[in-house]
Structure formats: structure tokens, C-alpha cells
Structure 1
Amino acid sequence: MITTRLSIMMFLQFFIWGGWFVTLGTFLANTLNASGGQIGMAFSTQSWGAIIAPLIVGLIADKYFNAERILGVLHLIGAALMVMLYQADTFTGFYPYVLGYMIAYMPTLALVNSVSFGQMADPSKEFGKIRVWGTIGWIVAGLMISYVFSWDAKQAIADGMLRNTFLLCAIASLILGLFSFTLPATPPKAAGEKTRVGDLLGLDALALLKDRNFLVFFLSSVMICIPLAFYYQNANPFLTEIGVENATGKMTLGQVSEVLFMLLLPVFLNRFGIRLTLLIGMAAWVVRYILFAYGGPDDTLFMLIIGIALHGICYDFFFVSGQIYTNAKANERIKSSAQGLITLATYGVGMLIGFWVAGQITDEYVLNTGHNWQAIWLFPAAFAFAVLVAFLLLFKAEKVSTDV
């Protein structure tokens, strides 16, 4: 059945990402003795991949080859690179392979969507049922690392067991790479058409920035990526360092809440409008990092759990509602370009800056016994609050179509 095959594809796609990316900071700090700046460099490969991905998909996948075949090739390449990451014993030896891997992996996020959409009569109704299996895959990866293999236990980390996450993901990549060649044919739709680089990067949508509200939203999106980078880069090392057991498994609560609040998002948009929904999303970042700053592994563990569970509001209410807002502001001719522009600005430029800042701040508060995590977390809390205040003052209420 096609639905089952697409669900397996999505499960493996995000199982792979969740299986190594969440614990990357912990692995680099403890196994390869990487500095905060070096860890920031490793995480920023995601941004470089996001910047390069539209070129690979737009210039190659959309014009010359079937999407499922490129998906298969990229995951087979990814499997080989994962083996190299498993074998690396220094950050210098690790970095080129993680950069290469992210350049290969990020285009596959668009390719699995293309394969899925190509088999659907009504993507608006069918895609969600397929995509949710990606979130389940991410959750299963985290639960396996914590509760099946215990690779993120304190002694296991000291013994370098987190290295095994790359081997696990190499196997999953190999399986998905081979499985991709059995997926329904998804031929290129733009064969023979002339494609401009500006179209792929969404540069045609720059005209939207003449609208004051959209400009404020655009700049806020870039700036809020700095607090977002702190979470991706530091949450797992933080929880592990302060002694929270099964940290990776507990972090899967963030994905569970993402699914829950995705279902609630239409209610908030329709009842409160885009401005208040975006403000709630930004406020959640402030609250989350204050909870991280003052929570601990014992009596105040509940503060950390709440902070993790806020991920659904943090991400869905700002980034997903932001995509909906962007779609509403753009006319039919530039809707795709507008989404490309906001993706480039956030996952590309914004996260690139964010990972660098997070690395610098983390290095600034290194102690003999670890880190001054309270000071580290209060920085993104204050930064998110500043973005929130600026947005509140500059973004004027407006009515836009936010049908979801």
C-alpha cells in the first residue's frame, strides 16, 4: 500500500535525524573534547545544508532525475558519511564529514515531501497523516538511545558510547537509501524549463519586505533563531551535565508537544489572529529559558520538563504560523519563492548566526566543573524578550487569511 510505504519513508527520514542530531553537542563535548565554538561550527552545518539544499533540489531534482532516485542516492552517501563520523576521533577529522553529511541530508527533507505529494490526490488532507510518522521516528530514536541502549547515561557517555548513534543512523540511512528505489516513481516536473538561482532562493519575494509588517516579521524570524539555536545546541549537553537521567528520551516530550500544538494551532489562529499567536510563540521562548536557568535535576526537575514540553508552542506558534502568514501575504506568483525566502532567512542565515552566538556564549561561561548554565540560559531568555518587545511595538494588528 502506497500510504504505508510513504509512512515508512517518513519514519526513517526523521529517525535518522533525531538519532544523532539531538546528542551531537554532548558527543562533541565529551568524546571529542570540542569547545563551544567548535560545537557551534558543527551545528551550523545544518544552516549551510539549508542554504545549498534549494540549489540541489531545484537545479537537479526538479529538472533531470526522479525524486525517489536522488533521495536514494543521497541517503546511501549519507550512510557512508555516518560511518566516517563514527570513526572520527578528533573534531578536525569530524567536521568535514558532518558538513558533507548535512549538504547531502538537507535536500532530502524536500525530496520526501515531493515523493509524498506526487502520490496524493489531496495533499492538504493526506499529507499530515504521512508526515506525523516522521515525528514518531524522531521520538523512537530518542527513546531507543535513552531507554533501550542507555548510550546517554553518565558512564556510557564517559566510555564514548554516544559514538554508536552514528552507526545506528548509518544502518537506517542504508535501509532508507535502498528502500527509496522501491518508492513510486516521481519524475521531474520542470524538465526542460529554465530555472534561475534567484527563484530557488526565493529572491523574487524580496518585494514583500516593502510591507512594514512583513519586514518586522521577517527580521523577528531571523533574530528568534538565535534562541532556537541555543536549544538545539545546548539542551542535551545541559541536561546531561547537570545529571538528568535519560535526557535524550525526556527531550522527545518536545516532539510530542509539537504534534499536540500543531492540532491546536488553527484554533489559536482563528480565535486570536496572527499577531497574538506569534507573540505567544515568542513569549514561550522567554519562559522556556527562564525555566532552564532555574530548574535542576532534583526538586525542580519539573521546571526542566515544562521547558522541554514548551517546544510545541515555541516552534509551532512562531515558525509554523509564520509560514502560514507568509503564504497569506504572498500572491500566487511568488508563494513558493516567499516560503523559500523565509526558509533561507531562518534555517540558513538566522540559524547560522544563532549557532555561532550560542557557541561563543557557552565558551564564555565554562567553569572548572562544567558550565554556568544559569548565565548561559538567561542570555537567550533576555534576547527572546527583546525580540518580543520590538515585535509588540512594531507589528501592527492586521487581518489576513490564515486558513489551515
Structure 2
Amino acid sequence: MSINTKFKLSLMMFLEFFIWGGWFVTLGLFLEKNLNTTGAQSSAAFSTQSLGAIIAPFIIGMIADKYFNAERILGILHIIGAGLMYQMYQADNFAAFYPYVFAYMIAYMPTLALVNSVSFNQMTNPEKEFSIIRVWGTIGWIVAGLLISLVFGWDSTAGVKEGLLKNTFLMTSIASLVLGIYSFMLPKTPPKGAGGEKKSVSEILGLDAFALLKDRNYLIFFLASILICIPLAFYYQNASLFLGEIEMSNLTSKMALGQVSEVLFMLLLPVFFSKFGIKKTLLVGMLAWVARYALFAYGNVNELSFMLLIGIALHGICYDFFFVSGQIYTDSKAGVQIKSAAQGMITLATYGVGMLIGFWVAGIVTDTFITPDNLHNWEAIWLIPSGIAMLVAILFLLAFKKERKPAAVTA
């Protein structure tokens, strides 16, 4: 891969995750403090991400793998997203906000698979090359958090009271427009299935990727991906609300510590892969979720603040060792014809089905454990996803078998 191509792909990843981190991290805090939502309403807003992820494989299967260049579809979706995000910026109540966040997620979630597809199409050795490109996405997320917290102060106590958090949507709208235009300058990623041959319905919808589930190990991984996203949903939905409620200062910038650790572990991922294999890599990622939520349950902003910071910093292991590893593992299992559809399928399993269930569970749990003074019993709330993650890790350890001849990743 040329230096020019590496730069283009790195900037693409930077903007892709700057956009996501630019509004999603503070969404829970914004919804409750500025739109006065309940736990159930917050759950509904966050669940739009999952609904978008469920629809994503069909968009990818119908378009990116069959008919149009992936980078062009990426550009169109981000330009549409820019307009929808601006409407979210203008909304002043949940009823007005919800339709736009729902439409936005339908547009945004397919782009997660598309940026992977564009990247993998330029690589000859994804196990070594992908993490170097993907790490720039993490840097983009970090920069978004630093701007929100340390530069603009939108997440400060005063900023929240003044309604400044809505500016995150304006910032994201601008970034989305920039990436939309820039996408047309990316390396060409033509559809692998292009041609005049007649295609079946399953090919058109990208359902051929589900043939990967015939592989027993991949089926176990697929199911584990769904289940581990239940505790992940607790973090996305409750972390900013939790830290805001216990009055942590500069919370968005401190939450960016998770992405700082993500950069480190992203770079270590190829080494861990080659030495320990896919099974141990995925297992370490799952166990990190157990530890993170236990630290959240028993930490505080006073003498035990270090526990909260360690819990945040564990995000690098939680995300890289399971989700990024899973994307690479999926690419190694997929054939040339279904690479984009396979990435869309794993997006369906994680950000779709798993987190849809997770947001629903998190909403119920959050509304259940409310104290008499209308705050939350965070110890009880965080111990529930910690226990779920432990159960998933144990089941994965017992069910996932050592692979004889993996396509690209050893176990």
C-alpha cells in the first residue's frame, strides 16, 4: 500500500469516528438533562443505532458488493447524514428529536462496514495493516472528546444547564458533510459481484454472508458477539449520565482515556494475534468488560476515582481485543465475493441485534434502580452487565475450539 493510500484511508477513519464520538458519547447526558427523557426514552434513542445496524447488511449487500463503488455509497450516506444531524441540532424536544436520530442511524451504521470494506480492498495482509489504519479512527474519537470538554466546555455543569451540548450535533453535521465530499476522493472500491450474470435474491440482499455461520467456530463467535454487546450497551447509554450524576469534572475528555488506550492496544493487536491467537484475544476482550463494570460499581469521584479512570482506560482492551479482532477474523473467513456483506453481517450481530437487546435491558435496569432522591443506584446497575460479560466469557471459553488451519489468524 502506498503512502498516499495510507493517508487517504487514515483520514477517512479519523473523520468516520470523529463523527460518531462527536455526539454519541454525550448523548445520554444530553437526553436526560436537556430533553428530560426517561430511561425508556433514552433506550429508544440509543436503540436507533441497533435498528440502523440491522438494516445495514441489506444496504451493503444490495449496493456495495453488487452494483456501486463502496466509496461512492459512503459519500452519499454521509452527505445525507449531515442534513439529518443538523435537524437533530435544531430539535428542542424528544418527539422532534427521535425521527431524525432514527433516520440518521439508518444512514450512518452502514458506513462502518463500508470504511472497513474500502480499507480491506487496499490491503494484502489485513492482520498487520488494518490496525495501523483503524487507529486513526480512535484518534478522531479522542479529538472530538477533547474539543467538547476542554476546548468548548459543552459538557461542563454550566454548559449542560445552558443547553450547549446541542452544539455537538452542529459540529458533527459539518464533519459529516466534509467526509461525504472527501469520500469521492478515496481509492476506488468497485463491487466484487459486478457483471451481467443473474443474481439470486440472497445474493442481492447480501444473505450469502450468513453461510459463514456453517463454520462452527464462526457461529460461536457470532453468538458471542451478540451477547457481549448487551453489556456494551450499558456503557454507551449510561456512562456519560453516570459520570455527570456523580459530578466528574471534564467528563468527556476523561472518557477519551478509553480511546487513548484503544490506540495503544490497537498497535499491540497484531503482536497479540500472532502470539496468542484469535480465541485468547477475544477472551481477554470479554474479561475486560467484567473488570470495567466492577470498577464502575465500586469507584467514586473522591478517594476511589482511580477505579473509574482505570475502568474507562480498559476500553482499549474491551473494544480492540473483541470488536476489531472480530472484524479481522470475519475478513479472514469471508470469500472475495462477500467481504462487504460479511462486514455488514457482523455489524448486524454487534451493533444491531446485540445492542438492541442491550439498550432495552439497560433502559429497564436504569429505571428500576432509582433512589428516593431521583438519582440512580449505580452499584447495582453496573454489576448486572459485569455478570453478563462473565457468563458470556465462560460460555465462549468452553465452546470455541482451536482451529486447525485458519485462513489468516491462528488460534
TM-score of the aligned structures, taking structure 2 as reference length: 0.87
Instruction: Specify the code of the residue in structure 2 equivalent to 1:146.
Output: S
Q: CA distance change for structure 1 residues 213 and 131 in 2, over 3 Å: closer, same or farther?
A: closer
CA distance, structure 2, for counterparts of residue 191 and residue 211 of structure 1: 27
1:102-132 per-position Cα deviation (integer Å, ceiling 9, x unaligned):
11112222333444456x4746365544333
Paired residues of 1:293 and 1:374 also in contact (CA < 8 A): yes
In structure 2, the partner of 1:136 is: 139
- Name which of 57, 60, 63 aligns with 1:60: 63
1:46-92 per-position Cα deviation (integer Å, ceiling 9, x unaligned):
11212222322332344444444333322221111111101111111
- The within-5 A match list for 1:289-368 is 289-326=293-330, 339-367=343-371, 368=373
Higher alpha-carbon deviation: 230-239 or 125-134: 125-134
- The within-5 A match list for 1:115-194 is 115-116=118-119, 120=122, 122=124, 124=126, 127-183=130-186, 185-193=188-196, 194=198
Q: CA distance change for structure 1 residues 204 and 88 in 2, over 3 Å: closer, same or farther?
A: same
In structure 2, the partner of 1:22 is: 25
CA distance, structure 1, for counterparts of residue 289 and residue 149 of structure 2: 26
Paired residues of 1:216 and 1:391 also in contact (CA < 8 A): yes
Helix, strand or coil for the counterpart of 1:370?
A: coil
Q: Is residue 2:261 matched to residue 1:257?
A: yes
Paired residues of 1:201 and 1:344 also in contact (CA < 8 A): no
Paired residues of 1:58 and 1:195 also in contact (CA < 8 A): no
CA distance, structure 2, for counterparts of residue 356 and residue 229 of structure 1: 9
Instruction: Specify the code of the residue in structure 2 equivalent to 1:72.
Output: G
In structure 1, the partner of 2:387 is: 382
Paired residues of 1:288 and 1:307 also in contact (CA < 8 A): yes
Helix, strand or coil for the counterpart of 1:293?
A: helix
CA distance, structure 1, for counterparts of residue 324 and residue 232 of structure 2: 14
Structure 1 residue 272 displacement after superposition: 3.4
Q: Is residue 2:401 matched to residue 1:392?
A: no
In structure 1, the partner of 2:409 is: 403
Q: Which runs of 5+ in 1 are unaligned?
A: none
Structure 1 residue 246 displacement after superposition: 1.0
Paired residues of 1:258 and 1:313 also in contact (CA < 8 A): yes
Q: Which runs of 5+ in 2 are unaligned?
A: none
Paired residues of 2:131 and 2:269 also in contact (CA < 8 A): no
Instruction: Specify the code of the residue in structure 2 equivalent to 1:171.
Output: I
1:209-232 per-position Cα deviation (integer Å, ceiling 9, x unaligned):
555544443322211110011111
Paired residues of 2:131 and 2:266 also in contact (CA < 8 A): no
Structure 1 residue 25 displacement after superposition: 0.8
CA distance, structure 1, for counterparts of residue 329 and residue 119 of structure 2: 24
Instruction: Specify the code of the residue in structure 2 equivalent to 1:301.
Output: S
Paired residues of 2:71 and 2:187 also in contact (CA < 8 A): yes
Paired residues of 2:278 and 2:409 also in contact (CA < 8 A): no
Helix, strand or coil for the counterpart of 1:151?
A: coil
Q: CA distance change for structure 1 residues 276 and 176 in 2, over 3 Å: closer, same or farther?
A: closer
TM-score of the aligned structures, taking structure 1 as reference length: 0.89
Higher alpha-carbon deviation: 151-160 or 199-208: 199-208
Paired residues of 1:147 and 1:249 also in contact (CA < 8 A): yes
- Name which of 232, 239, 243 aligns with 1:239: 243
Q: Is residue 2:224 matched to residue 1:220?
A: yes
Paired residues of 1:49 and 1:103 also in contact (CA < 8 A): yes
Paired residues of 2:57 and 2:345 also in contact (CA < 8 A): no
Helix, strand or coil for the counterpart of 1:290?
A: helix
Instruction: Specify the code of the residue in structure 2 equivalent to 1:302.
Output: F
Structure 1 residue 200 displacement after superposition: 6.7
Instruction: Specify the code of the residue in structure 1 equivalent to 2:248.
Output: V
Q: CA distance change for structure 1 residues 399 and 321 in 2, over 3 Å: closer, same or farther?
A: farther
CA distance, structure 2, for counterparts of residue 190 and residue 332 of structure 1: 9
In structure 2, the partner of 1:112 is: 115
CA distance, structure 2, for counterparts of residue 116 and residue 110 of structure 1: 10
Helix, strand or coil for the counterpart of 1:371?
A: coil
